[in-house]
Copies of this chain bind each other. A is one copy, B any other.
Amino acid sequence: MRNLSSNITLNRPQPHKVDKVACIGTGTIGGAWVAHFLRRGYQVRAWDKSADTQGRLRQSIETLWPTLEALGLAPGSSIEKLTLSPSLESALEDVAFVQESVFEDMTLKIETLSLIDALASRQAVIASSTSGFSMTDMQTACTHPERTVVGHPFHPVYMIPLVEVVPGEKTDNATVDWAMSFYASSGKSPVKARDGVYGYIANRLQLALWNEALHMVAAGEASVADIDRAVAEGPGLRWAMHGPSLTFHLAGGPGGIYDYVEKKSAAVRYDPYSRLAPPLFDKKLINALVEGCEEQAHGKSVEKLSTERDRFLIELLRLKEQMLK
């Protein structure tokens, strides 16, 4: 099994050499995946079990095309590279990557993934757009579950770069690595989460923020509109460039996140700012923060990162002013 698996992995094309993908399920999310892959120059085979849904796809891609042009088309991208496949089998023929986006129903997901698994070529990687299910539960009927993985996009898929990659219990590490590389070479920003984290990463963080906001509203501490403005005219501007830890890395001065957490520790650790208490700031957590910020800094000093961020903010603020007037 280990050997077979290795052979299969070896036979997989390199992620950046893939030029053809299958999109199974072409509703709102699946159709937006089709748009993403076409924009990036791939040949796309699309199939939906509803002939109606599949029939509307070309028209909706045509409507979307000016938006894709505005986002920037890869060389060679064309609506002509979209094939509406007459059957699931023909859609899957000879593709190395399959994005499944059928309706969010566990029975349907299990059934669809097992069908794709049975029909797709042996080395193909199969990703599911599910926004909440665990691949461990969805891969149960697959003969080759090791090549199935969650690839959860953010909508609009052709616009927001984030895709969350989550393995199931039986998923190979090689599959995760391949999927991460493939998404990155398709112009996405993939991140990895552990199986069993309900809501993956971004929805969990979104909800944490919103829950705190809702508690403020319920307690009469601030209005919905003022809370929204406080985000969009404050920290939200920074979060468009740097995530929460890197933001505090820049707030820590030359010593970065270590100084932020260590020296300002009393305030950071114990101030009851949020209704959710932080975890214990032990050595392990502090190390993870320092390493995570260094990984993103690519050797740049806090000062250099701050200068870049400020240059970004100037342009972002100009842009907002233009767009909102």
Contacts and interface: CB of A to CB of B under 8 A. Distances in A.
A231 to B, nearest CB: 4
Nearest to A276: B276
Nearest to A213: B244
- Counted per complex, copies of this chain come to 2
A212 B312 contact: no
A252 interface: no
Given A191-B230, A226-B191, A235 B198 contact: no
A10 interface: no
A235 B205 contact: yes
B160 A233 contact: yes
- Overall SS of chain A's interface: helix
A106 interface: no
Interface string A143-165: 00000000000101001111010
A213 B261 CA distance: 14
B213 A235 contact: no
A36 to B, nearest CB: 13
B161 A279 contact: no
B162 A229 contact: yes
Interface of A: 67, 70-72, 132, 154, 156, 159-162, 164, 189, 191-194, 197-199, 201-237, 239-248, 271-280, 284-285, 288-289, 291-293, 295-296, 308, 310-320, 323
